Structure 1
Amino acid sequence: MDENNMMHYDCEPMDGSENSQGSDPMQNGAAGGPRKPERKGKITGKIVALLLVVAVLGSVGGSALTAAIAGIHRDKAAEDSAVTGTADEDTPEESQDQADYQLVSHSLPDTLPTNDTGKSLTESEVYALAVNSVVGITTEATTNVFGQQAVAASSGTGFILTEDGYIITNQHVVEGADTIKVTLYSGESYDAELVGGDASYDIAVLKIEAEGLQAVSVGDSDTLQVGEAVVAIGNPLGELTFTMTNGIISALNREINTDGNPQNMIQTNAAINSGNSGGPLFDMDGNVIGVTSAKYSGSTSTGTTIEGLGFAIPINEALRVAYDLVEYGYVKGAYLGISLRDLDSNTASYYSLPVGPRVESVTEGSCAETAGVQVGDIIIGFNGVDVESYNDLAGQLKKVNAGDTVEMVVYRSGEEVTLTVTLDEKPQTTETETETETETQQPEGNTQELPEGFGGMEDFFNYFYR
């Protein structure tokens, strides 16, 4: 199911052709002075003249790490992780027979373990605590190439969320797979079932029938600071298994747009390569604080080398998605019930308006209508964050839940108006509906920008990340 479209987010961009008349931003009360300006599938390698390569990390390699919940002595964890062996070859086949395999689903726990040792661990201590909680993921999918069926194999990384076999990975690692296998650090292999996935968040949840697994400890991505040390463990190139790389948090809330899906990510300079997709990014307490997902590499047209640009999905967002997928089978995203058109800087300057998404229509009975949103409003703030584009708003909507009450600031008739909105739940759409909506509603000529300092490379990022 292709969910890589703008309509998946709770406010809809409008096609320029649909509003050729009556779309003057000066109508409907939008007037006044300007406001100061202020983030698949399997990896496919592509080479362009500019030599910009963006690797989606999940196409090759599985990974594994040991994790311990709070209170387990590190020396004991190191000792346990050192004792590894290959499981009896007959065991997986006997316990995982395809004909008898059935997914047994349970609710996720209300709370997850967190390591709080009171001091930062060394990198080797983090590795010892974590390496048994990371898994390798291999998939097979039947494809049709020039009328001939072929089996395409791919692999990536995941990590164990609960001791009874729930596993988080990237959606692009498992998307389209006919079969999914999970391999533990010990060498044991299990058939896995896809509990659910959402391409717009690039998060999927798998389930294997196992007990007594070592689950990861989970941190709080909302408390991260730029400069904090982090480590990633994965399988670069699909061959160098259980590799750990280190670095720092280079930036927070980087808006990365992939196939029309804006997402706020953690930026890190820890080496992330093909094979790391879906794997954990750890802080120095041994807690997972992100899910590695993508990177920039290569060089620009001027020959400038691009290095050290890796990205991870914040764990708080990943867990919210995972819990929804397990409980409901889909993500209960927040929904405003409006359609939007980005007001570009040139138009905004011409009419002395602030830059931001302009409301083109309001759905009857929606939370936006109830809150008093009007056609012609320019949205300039949402939940305490400045908004300058549809992507800004869509990215912020992914951070909140249906039922949350937030403040939204709009520019109307030369004034800033603060509205209180209790968010609706996003309606579920079928694949056919989504594809149709994308064709008719995608903004025409609507440009989007990467964060300051990225130059104009977003088109290339979108080109590779698919």
Structure 2
Amino acid sequence: MDNTNGNGAPVPPPQGNGGYTAPNQPTQPGQPTQPGQSAQGAQPLPHHAQHSQQGYYQQPAYQAPSAQPVEPAKKSTGPKTFLLAFAGAALACIIALSGFGIYNAMSGGSGSSDSGSSTVIGSSGNGSIDATDDDATLAEAVAQKALPSVVAVDVYTSQSSGMYGYGAGSGSDASSLTQSSLGSGVVLSEDGYIITNYHVVEGGEAFKVTIEGEEYDAEVVGTDPSSDLAVLKAQNATGLTPIEIGDSSDLIIGEWVMTLGSPFGLEQSVATGIVSATSRSQIMNSQTDGSTMIYANLIQTDAAINPGNSGGALVDADGKLIGINTLITSYSGNYSGVGFAIPVNYAVNIAQQIIDGKTPTHAQLGVSLSTVNEQIAKRYGLAVNQGAYVANVSEGSGAAEAGIEVGDIITKFNGTTITSADELMLQIRALNPDDKAEVEINRNGQTETLEVTLGSDESTQAATQQQSQGAGSLEDLLRNYGGNGYGSDGYTS
């Protein structure tokens, strides 16, 4: 989300009955208004947790972990969510776990390639796994089909500093590069396009990928930090085995799944489990570049996900890709039965845009927002005590055309009650540009329902990724009214 502070129109102070004029909604979320709390009040505290290669290995090449035990991470008072790229030092970056619950599908369709694209994503096969009901036999058949498409990713930097181990910069001597982190990826095309997580490649200066035992140099084709996705290209690769793409829109809680990747650098590892839940959502902030990662409609699974599994595959009983392994919630930083994957329909759509040379786009309402809570509502005499306050409305946006005004408080989006700016941003990210949505607002104490056609954040994506993390409260917006701009308040969506 973009922080529009210095560019938006000033927000007037509350008027007698708590009514307002109108602001803008976010394109990418900033840091939650109240750190340590989720958009829906979830209790667990998430972490970005990435382990340095040095914690388990002494050499750049993959090796079995040393027999010497690794010092365990310190526990905190609550479970945490971890990004798992196997980079950095230990556990860090406590960020609020946002509320669970959003729409069941990130986007329609199965995530197949665009008809005009020169690169075909995914296998052309349509076969189902022919196996008995015996779990061991099914697991063997699925592993045999999917493992050739799963990649180990080695990330090299000129020095290992910080959680992500990113290096000294583009001017560093290539001969000084050392392996700083490990992750996983999934082959999307025969000529070497690979999807992985952004946090796997973030800060890396050189990359190698191992596919079916063969090592290739790789380059980053493009990234979408807000979705935590990236595409690598294995150099001079031909005849690879692309994964068969499944459909994440019709998953059933309890259905059988398998995770594949390189946990702790152990390549070609698999684990089985079930879909524990769908529609899990949260917002997290990178502590290295200030980018905001918006995770909408994550797939929850109890199939093992550990450091190094990030960017790997979550497949169904037919060996079809249904998600990209990304996060865990854990006290220790290692597997505890609660892992999350980005739905394939959304992930492959972003990857296709990157491969086609486009800037990945997301749905945008066209407003800047701040959270309304009970304390703010009481202090400023607002008519409602929860929702997303509109601090600015972008000219020509879907919000402006629908009649949303500065000072409106958005209380529902497509029938879902909105309790914070974070929650509204997650709801919007679950949709696509040009989708229509019903937005319920409170204006001067009166409730209205407006139909909005969502726009695209393409024109603001570059600026969005450069914004500082965090967004101020409504209290700050109102307190700063009449001064020189706003400070640094507001989410843009």
Structure 2 length-normalised TM = 0.67
1:301-320 paired onto structure 2 within 5 Å: 307-320=336-349
Offset of 1:319 from its aligned partner?
1.0
1:174-185 paired onto structure 2 within 5 Å: 174-185=201-212
Asked if the contact 2:403/2:450 (under 8 Å) is kept, the reply is no
Alpha-carbon distance change, 224 to 51 in structure 1, aligned in 2, over 3 angstroms: closer
1:334 aligns with 2:363: yes
Amino acid at match of 2:343: P
Amino acid at match of 1:109: V
Offset of 1:132 from its aligned partner?
0.5
Match of 1:124 in 2: 140
1:246 to 247, 266, 272: 272
- What secondary structure is seen at the aligned counterpart in 2 of 1:392? helix
Offset of 1:424 from its aligned partner?
3.5
Per-residue CA deviations over 1:292-327 (Å, capped at 9, x if unaligned) read 011122279xxxx99311111111110111111122
1:409-448 paired onto structure 2 within 5 Å: 409-412=440-443, 413-428=445-460, 430=462, 434-435=465-466, 437-438=467-468, 442-444=471-473
Asked if the contact 1:13/1:340 (under 8 Å) is kept, the reply is no
Asked if the contact 2:50/2:307 (under 8 Å) is kept, the reply is no
Match of 1:297 in 2: 330
Counterpart-to-counterpart distance in 2, 1:410 and 1:343? 13
Match of 2:229 in 1: 203
1:370-385 paired onto structure 2 within 5 Å: 370-383=401-414, 385=416
Greater Cα offset, 194-203 or 349-358: 349-358
Amino acid at match of 1:261: M
Counterpart-to-counterpart distance in 2, 1:284 and 1:191? 32
1:284 to 306, 309, 317: 317
Match of 1:135 in 2: 151
Alpha-carbon distance change, 111 to 286 in structure 1, aligned in 2, over 3 angstroms: closer
Counterpart-to-counterpart distance in 1, 2:80 and 2:49? 16
2:19 to 9, 12, 27: 27
Q: Which runs of 5+ in 2 are unaligned?
A: 23-39, 53-71, 88-116, 133-137, 286-291, 476-493
Amino acid at match of 1:253: S
Offset of 1:189 from its aligned partner?
1.2
Offset of 1:418 from its aligned partner?
2.6
Match of 1:76 in 2: none
Asked if the contact 1:337/1:368 (under 8 Å) is kept, the reply is yes
Alpha-carbon distance change, 53 to 43 in structure 1, aligned in 2, over 3 angstroms: farther
Match of 1:66 in 2: none
Alpha-carbon distance change, 286 to 111 in structure 1, aligned in 2, over 3 angstroms: closer
Structure 1 length-normalised TM = 0.71
CA RMSD of aligned residues (A): 3.6
Counterpart-to-counterpart distance in 1, 2:338 and 2:157? 30
1:261 aligns with 2:252: no
- What secondary structure is seen at the aligned counterpart in 2 of 1:282? strand
Asked if the contact 1:360/1:375 (under 8 Å) is kept, the reply is yes
- What secondary structure is seen at the aligned counterpart in 2 of 1:214? coil
Match of 1:168 in 2: 195
- What secondary structure is seen at the aligned counterpart in 2 of 1:353? coil
Alpha-carbon distance change, 219 to 354 in structure 1, aligned in 2, over 3 angstroms: farther
Counterpart-to-counterpart distance in 2, 1:429 and 1:26? 33
Greater Cα offset, 391-400 or 173-182: 391-400
Count of residue pairs the alignment pairs up: 375
Counterpart-to-counterpart distance in 2, 1:22 and 1:46? 47
Offset of 1:164 from its aligned partner?
1.9
Offset of 1:406 from its aligned partner?
3.2
Q: Which runs of 5+ in 1 are unaligned?
A: 1-5, 31-36, 61-105, 447-466
Asked if the contact 1:162/1:213 (under 8 Å) is kept, the reply is yes
Alpha-carbon distance change, 249 to 348 in structure 1, aligned in 2, over 3 angstroms: farther
Alpha-carbon distance change, 429 to 213 in structure 1, aligned in 2, over 3 angstroms: closer
Counterpart-to-counterpart distance in 1, 2:186 and 2:200? 13
Counterpart-to-counterpart distance in 2, 1:114 and 1:14? 50
Match of 1:229 in 2: 256
Amino acid at match of 1:248: I
Per-residue CA deviations over 1:104-160 (Å, capped at 9, x if unaligned) read xx7333786464538777111111111101111111011386999864421110011
- What secondary structure is seen at the aligned counterpart in 2 of 1:192? strand
Match of 2:64 in 1: none
Greater Cα offset, 138-147 or 208-217: 138-147
Asked if the contact 1:115/1:286 (under 8 Å) is kept, the reply is no
Offset of 1:19 from its aligned partner?
7.5
Per-residue CA deviations over 1:187-229 (Å, capped at 9, x if unaligned) read 1111112110111111101112322211111111111122112
Asked if the contact 2:11/2:392 (under 8 Å) is kept, the reply is no
Counterpart-to-counterpart distance in 2, 1:145 and 1:110? 35
Alpha-carbon distance change, 287 to 385 in structure 1, aligned in 2, over 3 angstroms: farther
Offset of 1:163 from its aligned partner?
1.5
Amino acid at match of 1:140: Y
- What secondary structure is seen at the aligned counterpart in 1 of 2:349? helix
1:107 aligns with 2:96: no
Counterpart-to-counterpart distance in 2, 1:210 and 1:344? 54
Match of 1:93 in 2: none
Q: What is the aligned-residue identity percentage? A: 33
